[in-house]
């Protein structure tokens, strides 16, 4: 495959997007949302082909799965993005210098955004909608286990775009699900302005180590919840259960419950709702002793060398007993991934100290980490959740897909 031809075509299409009015982009997104529902049978049939070869017990199965309900949610998200105002073209700041020069800092799209991701066909829709709304073209490289789903999705988008002469269909292109394609995308200097990986640690490490184009790291989430000395047990049980079991295959799912040793007697109550979902618990000695006989023995395990710092993506989690607030923070610092962390406490001073000291993109007080999501944050959708500090951090919506340029206007001034 001649990747350079594809990259050149997408680059040209991105430049043409600057001439497309925002209202037109919104209308196109709404038309694609309608097409998702009208052609859902084709999308579900393609998805079924991908699912056929995957074990239902594989945590990635749920991430790959499309249903009528999920397609309806995707269409709703696309309409929501269409209804948002694009930051592109907006004036971030403006001022006049003493010499009369007028300065404006204006938001502009990156140009071409490449995204490498795994078994998440919904990402194909999310990436396109956010990129298109902000005036970016996108190049997608999905995983082989979602190949048919992604092909059907991009085919649907191209079909709608073909009816709008203002837009070239190549504002979105799908590369083959191969290692070669990923390397070509990461080496597309001069064509790709930014690359975003969405997936596990190995994918992110590969992208970071291979890329010759700028990268924003997203994805891997080793998520903890700390039950403090002043935590409410009923609230804690609800938060822990929701954070762990709502969807175990997503990056905001709970991986480790940290409990203050003064509250070990409450640990069985905190964990009780998890048993209904057959959540396996890897517990340290103190926690294991507290849970024995009060949580199903078949679901209890002694903590293993890699239990802490693991993104389980399954019905499993670890429990860590700590002697102090500072020890809880130390555990998070040692094993967290900078994604989402939570404290459950009725002590406002402790909560504010947690918020101040924990180094993560999203820090929660008495709320589950399952809310770490672009849609939940009012961003319409997300292109990923950034765990890095340079550039955007946390759920990345429209604003994260723009950079800026300075515009300087004068009346013949010269610099002395």
C-alpha to C-alpha distance for 171 and 140, rounded to whole angstroms: 11
Which pLDDT band, with edges at 50, 70 and 90, does 144 fall under? very high
SS3 at position 263: helix
Percent of the chain residues past pLDDT 90, beyond the cut? 84
pTM: 0.86
At 278-288, the pLDDT tens digits run 999 999 999 99
373-411 as b/e: b if 16+ CB within 10 A: bbbeeebbbbbbbbbeeeebbbbbbbebbbebeeeeeee
Q: Where are the beta strands (DSSP E) in 65-142?
A: 91-96, 102-109, 112-117, 137-141
C-alpha to C-alpha distance for 177 and 110, rounded to whole angstroms: 24
17 versus 217: the higher-pLDDT residue is 17
Percent of the chain residues past pLDDT 70, beyond the cut? 100
SS3 at position 49: helix
At 342-355, the pLDDT tens digits run 999 999 999 999 99
117: tokens are: 């991701």
Q: Residue 67 CB: number of other CB atoms within 10 A?
A: 11
Which pLDDT band, with edges at 50, 70 and 90, does 360 fall under? very high
Is pLDDT above 80 for 373? yes
Highest mean pLDDT (candidates 1-10, 324-333, 366-375):
324-333
Q: Average pLDDT of the chain?
A: 94
Question: How many angstroms from the chain centroid is the CA of residue 242?
Answer: 18
C-alpha to C-alpha distance for 334 and 310, rounded to whole angstroms: 12
At 22-58, the pLDDT tens digits run 999 999 999 999 999 999 999 999 999 999 988 887 7
Asked if 335 and 222 touch (Cβ cutoff 8 Å), the reply is yes
Output the pLDDT for position 219.
Answer: 64
Is pLDDT above 90 for 60? no
Output the pLDDT for position 383.
Answer: 85
Q: Give the residue-averaged pLDDT of 295-308.
A: 95
Least confident of 108-112, 129-133, 374-378: 374-378
Which pLDDT band, with edges at 50, 70 and 90, does 416 fall under? confident
At 176-231, the pLDDT tens digits run 999 999 999 999 999 999 999 987 778 888 998 999 999 988 767 899 999 999 99
Output the pLDDT for position 26.
Answer: 97
Output the pLDDT for position 200.
Answer: 77
SS3 at position 274: helix
C-alpha to C-alpha distance for 59 and 119, rounded to whole angstroms: 10
Which pLDDT band, with edges at 50, 70 and 90, does 389 fall under? confident
Which pLDDT band, with edges at 50, 70 and 90, does 1 fall under? low
């Amino acid at each position: 495959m001649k990747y350079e031809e594809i990259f050149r075509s997408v680059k040209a299409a991105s430049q043409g997007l600057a001439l497309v009015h925002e209202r037109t982009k919104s209308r196109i997104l709404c038309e694609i949302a309608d097409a998702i529902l009208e052609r859902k049978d084709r999308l579900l049939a393609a998805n079924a082909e991908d699912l056929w070869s995957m074990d239902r017990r594989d945590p990635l199965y749920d991430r790959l799965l499309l249903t009528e309900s999920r397609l309806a949610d995707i269409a709703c998200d696309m309409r929501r993005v269409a209804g948002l105002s694009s930051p592109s073209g907006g004036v971030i700041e403006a001022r006049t210098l003493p010499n009369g020069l007028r300065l404006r800092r204006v938001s502009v799209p990156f140009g071409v955004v490449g995204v490498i991701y795994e078994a998440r066909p919904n990402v194909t829709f999310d990436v396109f909608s956010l990129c298109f709304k902000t005036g970016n073209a996108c190049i997608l490289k999905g995983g082989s286990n979602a190949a048919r789903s992604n092909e059907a999705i991009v085919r649907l988008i191209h079909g709608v775009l073909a009816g709008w002469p203002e837009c070239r269909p190549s504002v979105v292109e799908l590369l083959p699900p191969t290692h070669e394609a990923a390397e070509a995308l990461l080496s597309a200097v001069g064509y790709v302005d930014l690359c975003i990986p969405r997936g596990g640690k190995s994918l992110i490490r590969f992208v970071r180590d291979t890329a010759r184009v700028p990268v924003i790291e997203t994805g891997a989430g080793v998520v903890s919840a700390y039950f403090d000395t002043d935590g409410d047990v009923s609230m804690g049980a609800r938060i822990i259960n929701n954070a762990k079991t709502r969807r175990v295959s997503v990056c905001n799912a709970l991986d480790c419950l940290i409990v203050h040793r003064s509250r070990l007697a409450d640990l069985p109550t905190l964990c009780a709702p998890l048993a209904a979902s057959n959540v396996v618990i890897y517990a340290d000695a103190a926690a294991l002793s507290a849970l024995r006989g009060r949580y199903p023995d078949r679901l209890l395990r002694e903590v293993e060398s890699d239990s802490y710092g693991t993104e389980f993506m399954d019905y499993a989690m670890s429990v860590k007993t700590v002697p102090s607030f500072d020890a809880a923070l130390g555990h998070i610092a040692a094993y967290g991934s900078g994604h989402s962390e939570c404290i459950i406490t009725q002590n406002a001073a402790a909560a504010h100290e947690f918020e101040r000291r924990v180094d993560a993109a999203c820090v929660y007080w008495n709320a589950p980490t399952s809310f770490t999501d672009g849609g939940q944050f009012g961003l319409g959708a997300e292109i990923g959740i950034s765990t890095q500090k340079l550039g955007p951090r946390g759920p990345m919506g429209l604003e994260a897909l723009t950079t800026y340029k300075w515009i300087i206007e004068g009346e013949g001034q010269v610099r002395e």
